[in-house]
Structure 1
Amino acid sequence: MFLEEADSDGLAQEDRTQTLIDSFFDRVGEEEKSDEAVCPNLGMEMISYDYLSYLESIEPNNTESENESDNNLLKHHDIIDRFIEKADSNASFSLSEDDASVNRDQKDYISDNEIEEDTFLTETLAKIYIKQKKYEQALTIIKRLSLNFPKKSAYFADQIQFLEHLIINEKNKKQS
């Protein structure tokens, strides 16, 4: 008796499964038709997913846009040609440096040995000097930072010791 109920449930289950599968395929067929209506310009079936066939279908559109861009470039080409002709006729010009500009350029460059009060002294700058193996400049920056921030003096004291050891090691390497 239990087996008979199971068989009837199994048949009902199979019928239900079959109904679900059929409805799914019906919906998929409707979606494919709607996709074809949305993309009529492709001129190819949605079955093919080949990239080359896709490029071939789009290629006529690309050639039209390339021709338009070439025409735009040629429109401005005559302006460029006229400018070049004018430049060739007035080819005499010279550059001269003013004393003020030379002095201004020299002021812009500060040597690494000069660390003034006005410059920004940061821990990041000290780290950069350490990476460049300019340990003495990094040490002066860290010492000034420890004076400016007394609450962090213990933190800076460790870094100062580390830098002093690095400087001693560098001097020993140079002497060897």
Structure 2
Amino acid sequence: MFKRARAPQRYCSRQCLGDAKRKLPRPTERTCQGCGVTFVNHPKKPAQRFCRRGCALKAINPPDHNAKVARASAVARGNTQRGRGQGKAYRKLNGRHEHRVVAESILGRPLRRGETVHHADEDRANNTPGNLVVLSSQSEHAELHFTGSKQSAEQVRKRVVATARTKAQRKQPND
């Protein structure tokens, strides 16, 4: 059997421990700034202003805080859809990215794991079926955007889009 290691001693004697505790500020009665109840603060927290965490949270987040956050996020989403602001978010359709839903309707099946949808004109807001290309992997999509120095962006774009379309045609059964 292994013996459990003892915690390191912090004081050389009980006398030193008592002296250290006497140096702590004495607990005092205070009035909670949140609810007005009197409480005794913890000796190690002389600046304690609230009787409990709930009162502190109510003071930090007033009742209308959630409404303010909701309004701000609604404005940000609206600005994104109107073409203002950073515009990093894709439009959603029933909680899913709209361009992925459109691509699935083009293919007639759900997108497979790892498949990526590319906007041919690189406009995220343009989700027309003719503008969307389904690529088999994220690496293929990255290759489309990174041209390197040997090929122009247009050459790479044409090559990747052409290979993606031929792969899609091969996978679809002939009607």
TM-score, normalised relative to structure 1: 0.30
Structure with the bigger percentage of helix = 1
Structure with the bigger percentage of strand = 2
Larger Rg: 1
